[in-house]
Amino acid sequence: MNLSIARAADVLLEGGLVTCPTEGVYGLSCMPDDPLAVLRLLDLKRRDASKGLILIAANSAQLDDWVDWQGAELPPPDPAFPITWIVKAAAQVSPLVRGAHSGLAVRLVTNVLARTLCETVDSPLISTSANFSGERVARNRFVLRRKFGRCVDFLVPGDCGPAAGPSEIRDLQTGTVLRPRAR
């Protein structure tokens, strides 16, 4: 196992925050079932908790405790065109994760580092873009280190790709595009 992934997994399981490359941007991540870590992440990002957060997962089974599938299933992911899906949240999902919504944003992550991290902790992860609310997203590891190097507990080394930016967001039930893909 990659030593950086092992270290990041330990940090996450101990309640810490990490940054990790995803398909299009660096993400700020924590365990979704750790309310103190989620609150710390929201505070660091200066994000309004009512907006909700995204869960990334290595596979659909990791989302089973978080999603009320009601017979639905996620389409296979496309690494070059990542889509975050809005699905019905399971009843026990905290408003810290889903925000003021009944839906939950989820994505099957294809970036090998992010996917391996989810597999290593055997859980989905919160993954929100590595930026302060309203500011540009870090897509370069040097900018990431400058902005977040002292704010998080571990930075997973590696590059984003192959997407050009944040994922598109669609409603799984209707297919409605809520945020178009980055160009």
Matching residue, tokens 């902005």: 147
Rounded distance, CA 11 to CA 5, Å? Answer: 10
Task: Give the pLDDT of residue 67.
Answer: 97
Task: Give the pLDDT of residue 8.
Answer: 98
| Total domains, the chain | 1
Task: Give the pLDDT of residue 1.
Answer: 60
Rounded distance, CA 50 to CA 36, Å? Answer: 16
Element containing residue 55 per DSSP (H, E): strand 54-57
Task: Give the pLDDT of residue 140.
Answer: 81
Task: Give the pLDDT of residue 138.
Answer: 79
Residue 90 CA, distance from chain mean position: 18
Given a contact cutoff of 8 angstroms between Cβ atoms, the answer to whether 124 and 62 are in contact is yes
Q: Which residues of the chain have pLDDT under 70?
A: 1, 183
Helix axes 3-13, 112-121, angle to 10 degrees: 50
- Any idea what the CATH number is for the domain that residue 68 is in? 3.90.870.10
**Per-residue burial over 89-117, b = 16 or more CB atoms within 10 Å of its CB, e = otherwise:** beeebeebbbbeeebbbbbbbbbebbbbb
pLDDT in tens, 31-54: 999 999 999 999 999 999 999 999
Task: Give the pLDDT of residue 163.
Answer: 87
Task: Give the pLDDT of residue 183.
Answer: 66
Under DSSP, is residue 178 helix (H, G, I), strand (E, B) or coil? strand
Kindly report the pTM of this predicted structure. 0.96
Give, in degrees to the nearest 5, the angle at Cα 177 between 69 and 112.
Answer: 65
Task: Give the pLDDT of residue 162.
Answer: 86
Task: Give the pLDDT of residue 164.
Answer: 83
Q: What range does the domain containing 64 cover?
A: 3-179
Give, in degrees to the nearest 5, the angle at Cα 73 between 127 and 88.
Answer: 60
